[in-house]
């Protein structure tokens, strides 16, 4: 991919998406009408599944709260759970989810969330299995709530939620050394800060000790789906080794992304060694060229992300001092998290996947 000069005044070609050919016996407008109906049905099915999940979790909270209250009032022991499970199964043979183990989780769930309004507003919006993960993996209420909100915001499945908890996303997000408050408009600066982490964990690459920068880049591209997930929501991959011609010299950006929410290009430079001041000067120059060559009036100022194997935070802060372009500096690590899911997706689950998880939740 090569860029020399911004093409101004040219009309962009129209992008045409193919649709199925019209059958001879069908009206001309049938295809778009059918597509509209499919989208409507899919949307309503998703809403029905999510509403059913919400109602189920609120019911679980009320059951757990009632058990908790009765045990506190009457001094009932753990055996009451087994009796209750048996009686509920007999009373509602068509229902599932009343196993002793699940009833104990309902009690724990109610004990963890004493305010039903918080349940309705947040944790009832995520699957039951994800709620169980929050109960098992975290002890602090504030952290549970933070990860519940991230589960909703990022569309995390259970396995990805476990990975983010074990890799301590709450400590990494917004932790990159940066100059965003000074270089990004106030309305966007906080969003920019939260869009970057420190460190980034590339456990999906396996053992990459003593790797060369070009090999490092290739491995990230080979695992671009996992890489995008680790970067976070909003990043769209544009290209690698993007060619920029400046004067009589050629320059190549390691990786180029576009951040949909921030509405800007993001240049990512990869270094396999320690942070050096020259890295920032080089990245700053790249940002100037991208702003001039690639950006138009709809794009915000390009952001740079320098990923290094090791940095001194004080040195990083002084290196950014006086730089007018927004730049973040983060470490990268390849610590392998045991629970890192092998097959993870960068989008929200499909309706069928949600329905399947909903069925699995009830079988606990």
Closest to 230 measured CA to CA, from 174, 164, 165: 164
Above 60 in pLDDT, residue 192?
Answer: yes
User: What is the structure's pLDDT at 12?
Assistant: 42
Segment 240-283, tens digit of pLDDT: 999 988 778 888 999 999 999 999 999 999 999 999 999 999 99
Give the residue carrying structure tokens 């396996």.
206
Point out which residues pair with 239 in neighbouring strands.
256
Find the range with the poorest average confidence among 42-51, 210-219, 247-256, 326-335.
42-51
DSSP letter for each residue of 90-132: HH-TT-----HHHHHHHHHHHHH---HHHHHHTGGGS-HHHHH
Strands 2-3 and 235-246, sheet pairing: parallel
Q: Cβ contacts of residue 64 below 8 Å, gap of 6+?
A: 103, 105, 106, 107, 108, 109, 110, 111
171-333 has which fold? Trna Endonuclease; Chain: A, domain 1 (3.40.1350)
For 13-52, b where at least 16 C-beta lie within 10 A, e where not — what string? Answer: eeeeeeeeeeeeeeeeeeeeeeeeeeeeeeeeebeebbee
Tell me how far CA of residue 184 lies from CA of 193, 292, 295, 311, in angstroms.
10, 17, 16, 23
Angle at 110 between CA 104 and CA 115, to 5 degrees: 175
Angle between helices 128-137 and 100-112 (to 10 degrees): 70
In order of 62, 138, 234, the CA distances from 75 in angstroms are 19, 27, 51
What's the rounded Cα separation, in Å, for the pair 348 and 50? Answer: 13
pLDDT in tens, 25-70: 556 776 776 777 777 777 777 777 768 888 889 999 999 999 888 8
CB atoms within 10 A of CB 84: 18
Entry pTM = 0.73
| Domain range list for the chain | 30-167+349-362, 171-333
> Could you read off the pLDDT of 280-307 as tens digits, one per residue?
999 999 999 999 989 998 999 999 999 9
DSSP 70-99: HHHHH---THHHHHHHHHHHHH-TT-----
| pLDDT at residue 95 in the model | 80
Backbone angles phi, psi at 284, to 5 degrees: -60, -40
């Amino acid at each position: 991919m090569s860029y020399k000069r911004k093409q101004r005044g040219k009309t962009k070609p129209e992008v045409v998406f193919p649709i199925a050919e019209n059958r001879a016996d069908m009206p001309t407008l049938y295809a778009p009408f059918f597509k509209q109906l499919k989208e409507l049905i899919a949307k309503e099915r998703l809403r029905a599944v999510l509403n059913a999940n919400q109602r189920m979790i609120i019911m679980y909270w009320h059951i757990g709260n009632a058990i908790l209250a009765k045990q506190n009032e009457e001094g009932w022991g753990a055996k009451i759970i087994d009796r209750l499970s048996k009686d509920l199964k007999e009373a509602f043979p068509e229902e599932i989810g009343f196993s002793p183990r699940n009833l104990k989780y309902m009690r724990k769930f109610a004990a963890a969330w004493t305010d039903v309004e918080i349940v309705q507003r947040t944790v009832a919006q995520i699957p039951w299995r994800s709620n169980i993960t929050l109960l098992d993996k975290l002890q602090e209420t504030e952290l549970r709530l933070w990860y519940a909100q991230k589960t909703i915001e990022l569309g995390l499945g259970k396995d990805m939620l476990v990975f983010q908890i074990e890799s301590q996303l709450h400590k990494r997000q917004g932790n990159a050394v940066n100059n965003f408050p000074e270089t990004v408009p106030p309305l966007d600066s906080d969003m920019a800060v939260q869009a970057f982490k420190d460190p980034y964990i590339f456990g999906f690459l396996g053992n990459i000790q003593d790797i060369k920068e070009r090999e490092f880049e290739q491995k990230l591209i080979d695992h671009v789906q996992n890489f995008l997930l680790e970067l976070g929501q909003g990043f769209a991959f544009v290209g690698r080794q993007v060619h920029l011609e400046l004067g009589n010299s050629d320059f190549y950006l390691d990786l180029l992304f576009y951040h949909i929410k921030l509405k800007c290009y993001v240049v990512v430079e990869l270094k396999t060694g320690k942070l050096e001041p020259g890295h920032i000067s080089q990245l700053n120059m790249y940002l100037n060229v991208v702003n001039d060559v690639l950006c138009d009036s709809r794009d915000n100022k390009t952001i740079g992300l320098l990923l290094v194997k090791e940095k001194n935070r004080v040195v990083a802060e002084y290196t950014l001092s006086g730089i007018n372009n927004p730049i973040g500096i983060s470490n990268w690590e390849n610590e392998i998290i045991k629970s890192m899911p092998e097959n993870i997706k960068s989008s929200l689950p499909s309706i069928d996947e949600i329905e399947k998880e909903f069925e699995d939740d009830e079988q606990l």
